Homo-oligomer: A and B are copies of this chain.
Amino acid sequence: MPVNLSSFEGPVCPVPIYHRDQIVMGHGSGGRMTADLIRDIFQPAFSNPSLDEGNDFASVSVPTFNTSNGRLIVSVDSHIVKPVFFPGGDIGRLAICGTVNDVAVSGAKPLYITAGFILEEGLPISTLQSIVQSMKSAADEAGVNVVAGDTKVVEKGGADQIFITTTGFGWLDSTIQIGGQYARPGDSILVSGTLGDHGIAVLSARGELGFETSVCSDTAPLNHLVDTILQASPHTHVLRDPTRGGVATTLNEIANQSHVGITLVEESIPLNPATRSACDMLGFDPLYVANEGKLIVIVPQEEAQIVLNSMKQTKYGKDSAIIGQITSNHPGQVLMQTPIGGTRLLDVLAGEMLPRIC
């Protein structure tokens, strides 16, 4: 005789209640529970023809224009930010934007993303669902598809809630040549907005500031801003998103790759007042604090103003500024001109200032 399961309540519930609202080890088995998780959480958010085929691989097309001269651009980032939700974003938005941006700074058009999820047993499924929705929104905004995914589950205490590793790939037309090695003396250096906001927002979400702040993370996909820049300056030499280690560390990398010096003008560096005062109280230099939605742009000096004007008209570039220039002096070093006429050396971040920021 068939039993009306819906009439049951309490301890005779046919599916243990924790199977339905928390991640359990079985969700990582590769069996029916994994399939259920894919069907209920991942497929509805990310549905696209490659993913929906249900094979262990995704088959995707690449643009056929200029194919024989183009290059595939690839970048990977693991995301371990703590806490997973913070003002202005969450680990899902971060996992998409971080990787989209690393592809975009090559000058390539980001096309596809893969995502590997490592989940801790006991993670609320509603938390996973929020994070996946956030990934979906960011992917839609960037115009990329999540074409392949994988889920593993670690027992409670073996991981911290959720880690997401994303790999992005895009197609680079061979006419574009952008990279950290192409900065030339005389070039102008721009940033696309206020610096250090992401790091301070994550710290505030941890309750580690000891004071209140209104700072929001800048986490954003920057590929459309990159398009704008490349239209304004087809001779763009370097694009880079200054994440861990901040602008100071990234500029040091560029100075070394290009064998040039860099001089910044302190007064010209855009800072959110709330970030500035949080950094003052904590003794941090905002140039070493992570960003997740900012670009460093290095272009020939004669194109700097037109690039700046174009950037200022975009959503994620309205606070853009020219902050310094490339020089043939002091190769490999980044110097900062202070308002009182002094100069200080900005070295690479040595150890760890803000752990688990991305």
Contacts and interface: CB of A to CB of B under 8 A. Distances in A.
B76 A150 contact: yes
Interface string A144-185: 000111111111011110010101010010000001110000
- For the complex, would chain A's binding face be called helix, strand, loop or mixed by DSSP majority? mixed
A147 B180 CA distance: 17
Contact of A55 (B116, B165, B179): B179
Given A31-B249, A348-B32, A352-B33, A72 B67 contact: no
Nearest to A245: B30
B249 A30 contact: yes
Nearest to A354: B29
For chain A, which range describes its interface: under 10, 10 to 19, 20 to 34, or 35 or more residues? 35 or more
Interface in A307-358: 348-353, 355-356, 358
A273 interface: no
A266 to B, nearest CB: 21
B349 A31 contact: yes
Contacts of A77: 116, 150
Contacts of A34: 244-245
A32 B75 CA distance: 20
A37 interface: no
A335 to B, nearest CB: 18
A331 to B, nearest CB: 16
B148 A29 contact: no
Contacts of A356: 152, 154-155, 158
B60 A152 contact: no
Interface stretch (A99-107, A122-130, A187-195): A99-107
Interface of A: 24-26, 28-35, 50, 53-62, 64, 67-68, 71-80, 82, 102-103, 105-106, 108, 112, 114-118, 147-155, 157-160, 163, 165, 167, 169, 172, 179-181, 240-241, 243-245, 249, 253, 257, 290, 348-353, 355-356, 358
